[in-house]
Structure 1
Amino acid sequence: MKLTEMRNIGKEMANKLHSIGITTPEELQLAGSKEAFLRLRLTHENVCLVHLYALHGAIENLDYNQLPEKTKQELKSFSDQLK
């Protein structure tokens, strides 16, 4: 399976993930959404909260806008701590 076959992962997101050493769905799952997001933030200026939602949704096999509200709040809190 390729990254682009996961939910929420298009060509642009896959390219960003490749740039930080995540090249397979298994590597993304192993890293987790927060670690992958943190690594993306360090190398790409335009990464935002929606990217974190998309990564988490990809791992959970959910569209990012279908994440539970509690999960969104936890991810937002994590993102806010990085600012």
Structure 2
Amino acid sequence: MQISEMKNIGLVNEKKLNEAGIMSAEELRQVGTEQAFLSVRHLVDDGACIHFLYGIEAAIQDIPKRELTERRKAELRQFFRNLNID
């Protein structure tokens, strides 16, 4: 399955993930949300935002982004905040 066929991930974000070396939905699931995000952020788009992070997680869970649990969103927000500490 192509990444863009997953929920929440369009062609633009599929291209970013591909450029970071993640070529399929299965690879994205294996790599996981945080590592996929880090790969894109370090190799392709240093401005990748928290909404992209949420989108990856929701795609892996196969749910609309708005259905992420508050607990998981809080975990992802903390992960994102930690990236921005200099």
TM band (smaller chain) = over 0.9
Amino-acid identity (%): 36
- TM-score by structure 1 length? 0.96
State the partner residue of 2:46. 45
* Structure 2 CA distance for aligned equivalents of residues 45 and 8 of structure 1: 20
Q: Where in structure 2 are there 5+ consecutive unaligned residues?
A: none
Root-mean-square deviation (CA, aligned residues, Å) is 0.8
How many aligned positions are there? 83
* Structure 2 CA distance for aligned equivalents of residues 64 and 21 of structure 1: 23
Once structures 1 and 2 are overlaid, which stretch shifts more, 38-47 or 15-24?
A: 38-47
Residues 12-31 of structure 1 mapped to structure 2, 5 A cutoff: 12-31=12-31
Q: Which structure 1 residue ranges, 4+ long, deviate > 3 Å from structure 2?
A: none
- TM-score by structure 2 length? 0.92
Q: Specify the SS of the correspondent of 2:32.
A: helix
* Structure 2 CA distance for aligned equivalents of residues 65 and 37 of structure 1: 19
Offset at residue 46 of structure 1 (A): 2.5
